[in-house]
A and B are shown apart, each in its own frame.
Chain A
Amino acid sequence: MTGFEQIIGINPWTALFTFCNMIITFLLLKKFLFKPVKKMIDQRQKEIDDLYADAENSKAKAQEIQAEYESRLDSARAERDELMADAVKRAQKREQEIIAQAKDQAASMMTRAEADIAQEKKKALNQVKNEISSISVSIAQEVVGREISAADHERLVTEFIGKLGETQ
């Protein structure tokens, strides 16, 4: 120890050491403190940003999917309604067709039945006529005791039937 320096005096050696120490402090702090810490902060920030971006993306995608499903559901519902309406319409049409067909059938059956009846009636009438004519002939033979000629016979029958027709 060889005394003291002046209070205000520039010592080039002190300046040199200060300069070197400053540079060393700067380099070491940069290498060991600032760079790794900054890197860590940036990394974490980036991770957080990525996470948020991912979350936003997923949310947007989910909303998109939801909207799509909803629209699809709506269209499906509309289609179903349409199908139902169509089916009901077709069924009603078919019902009317069936009823109309049944009516037709019934009507034709009726007419046929009527025709049958009329024919049967005619047949029966003819039969009755024949029988009556033959019975009347036989009765007349019995009554008259003689055979009527065919012409008379014919005329008599016709007359008789004519009368029958009148009484009918």
Chain B
Amino acid sequence: MNGPKIYLQINGMNVITQTTVASFAVMILLCTAGYFLGRNLKKRPGRMQVITEKGVSMLYSLVEETMGRHNAYWTPYIGALFLSSLGGSLIGMTGIFRSTTSDISTTLTWALMTSFLVWGCTIKNSGLKTFLKGYINPMNIISDIAQPVSMGFRHFGNIMGGSVLTSLLYSALAAGSAAILGLIKTYGLLEIAAVALIGGGIVFLGFRRKKLWVKIAGGAVIALAAASALEFFGVFSSVPILQVGLPGVLSLYFDVFSGGVQALVFSLLTMVYVGMACPPPRDPKEH
């Protein structure tokens, strides 16, 4: 497993990497989508507008619930953060780009942005004196350092771990299928035909018993026989047949689910930290 590819190096500094390119791609995609979705809004909405409004109002209600009604103006930033994180995680699935969030530089930058927002809000709302007074207790310095580090590494680790696991699984499945095919290669055409027949039998049984999984198992055996035949005649050499199916299911978890959850967690943590730094304005009626 490698880090991001380096595309441009100036004076030994890796100026443009895969992450940078993917990050620009995510930005362009999000802004284009946002521009087209936010255009031509009507009082009587069409289908796309309903979905857009639903999403936007869900974001607003999430922010209002987490940060309080007075902090609703943070929604665009939280939304942009959430969408960038989700898009950055999902863009790795295209195969063209590398997930921006599987680079610690990205997630740590976002986490530091959150930290600076928190510090800025604290200074703005309770004054520089109170802000500095908080550091009389040195534990607060540690917690302020730990906060962005934990946020950044959590997000990075989840996405990176997912892709590491996926690539491990791919190589394991390739090795496994190579082993099976190599085993088959030592036998003759007769054995391959026998395997195909067994597969046909299982499919037949599946139709008799009317059970879907039996049919699928039979189909898999037949596919194995077909791949073995191709292997036998030397059309393909070591087709990784086991890589069909299983990684897709795992990718659903590691890329889609994990990406969504981490985006939500990251924006929720940002909301909570910033929300704590921006307490509700004191009600003048109370005094």
Which of A6, A9, A13, A25 is most buried by chain B, counting CB atoms within 10 A of its CB?
A25
Residue in A7, A19, A28, A40 whose beta carbon sits within 8 Å of that of B34 in the complex: A28
Question: Cβ of B228 < 8 Å from any Cβ of A?
Answer: no
Q: Report the Cα distance A5→B19, complex, angstroms.
A: 10
Interface of A is mostly: helix
CB under 8 Å from chain A, chain B span 16-72: 16-17, 19-20, 23-24, 26-27, 30-31, 34-35, 37-39, 41, 43, 52-53, 56-57, 60
A14 and B1 in contact (CB under 8 A), knowing A7-B160, A25-B80, A33-B38?
Answer: no
Q: Report the Cα distance A40→B53, complex, angstroms.
A: 9
* Inter-chain contact B27/A24, CB cutoff 8 Å: yes
Residue in A2, A8, A22 whose beta carbon sits within 8 Å of that of B80 in the complex: A22
A38 and B84 in contact (CB under 8 A), knowing A13-B15, A13-B20?
Answer: no
Residues of B within 8 A of A32 (CB): 31, 34-35, 38-39
* Inter-chain contact B41/A25, CB cutoff 8 Å: no
* Inter-chain contact B3/A6, CB cutoff 8 Å: yes
* Inter-chain contact A5/B6, CB cutoff 8 Å: yes
Q: Report the minimal beta-carbon distance from A46 to chain B, rounded to whole angstroms.
A: 11
Interface of B is mostly: helix
Interface string of A61-101 (1 = CB under 8 A from B): 00000000000000000000000000000000000000000
Interface band, chain B: 35 or more
Residue in B4, B5, B35, B113 whose beta carbon sits within 8 Å of that of A28 in the complex: B35
Nearest-neighbor residue (CB-CB) of B25 within chain A: A21
Nearest-neighbor residue (CB-CB) of A40 within chain B: B41
Interface band, chain A: 35 or more
Q: Report the Cα distance A26→B80, complex, angstroms.
A: 5
Contact sample, A vs B, 5 pairs, CB 8 Å cutoff: A13-B16, A18-B110, A22-B81, A25-B30, A38-B56
Interface, chain B (partner A; CB < 8 A): 1-7, 9, 13-17, 19-20, 23-24, 26-27, 30-31, 34-35, 37-39, 41, 43, 52-53, 56-57, 60, 75-77, 79-81, 83-84, 100, 103-106, 108-110, 113, 160
